[in-house]
């Protein structure tokens, strides 16, 4: 069973033309997939559709064996999919650690949240060094 399967997805905005036309994508557990293309190719539209921000006109989106197309964005988030746009969505006056905690606000198990934060710090040691620094004062 694939982690994520997108089958024949068609999507667009309002009554306008379809941006995505019959998109298929499969992501296996542990696999990294890249979606590349020029501006206007539909990359963001695909991610918004997968994350529930834009309902597909046709097709299926299956995550961990469950069809998720048609779910609200908060329901898709509960399933484990999140869309973070490139606009540097940070809480600038909060610390690095506080920002990471905000990313896990839906997690009911606080111990698991702290474990996930520790995993981030293991992957990015510089963040651990700066965990009390205001996120808005960092660059890069």
3-state secondary structure 35-72: CCCCCCCCHHHHHHHHCCCCCCCEEEEEECCEECCCCC
Does 68 share its domain with 105?
A: no
Using one digit for the tens of pLDDT, what is the confidence trace for 84-115?
Answer: 777 667 888 999 999 899 888 888 889 999 99
Does 59 share its domain with 106?
A: no
Residue 88: what pLDDT?
Answer: 65
Residue 87: what pLDDT?
Answer: 67
pTM over 0.75: no
State which residues form the domain around 47: 4-79
The fraction of the chain above a pLDDT of 70, given in percent, is: 97
| Domain count for the chain | 2
């Amino acid at each position: 069973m694939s982690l994520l399967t997108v089958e024949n997805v068609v999507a667009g905005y309002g009554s306008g033309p379809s941006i995505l036309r019959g998109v298929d994508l499969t992501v296996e557990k542990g696999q990294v997939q890249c979606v590349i293309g020029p501006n206007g190719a539909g990359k963001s539209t695909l991610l918004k559709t997968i994350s529930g921000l834009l309902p597909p006109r046709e097709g299926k989106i299956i995550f961990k064996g469950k069809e998720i197309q048609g779910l609200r964005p908060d329901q898709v988030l509960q399933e484990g999919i999140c869309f973070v746009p490139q606009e540097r969505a940070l809480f600038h006056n909060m610390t690095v650690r506080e920002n990471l905690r905000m990313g896990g606000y839906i997690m009911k198990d606080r111990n698991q949240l702290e474990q996930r934060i520790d995993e981030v710090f293991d992957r990015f040691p510089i963040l651990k060094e700066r965990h009390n620094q205001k996120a808005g004062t960092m660059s890069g």
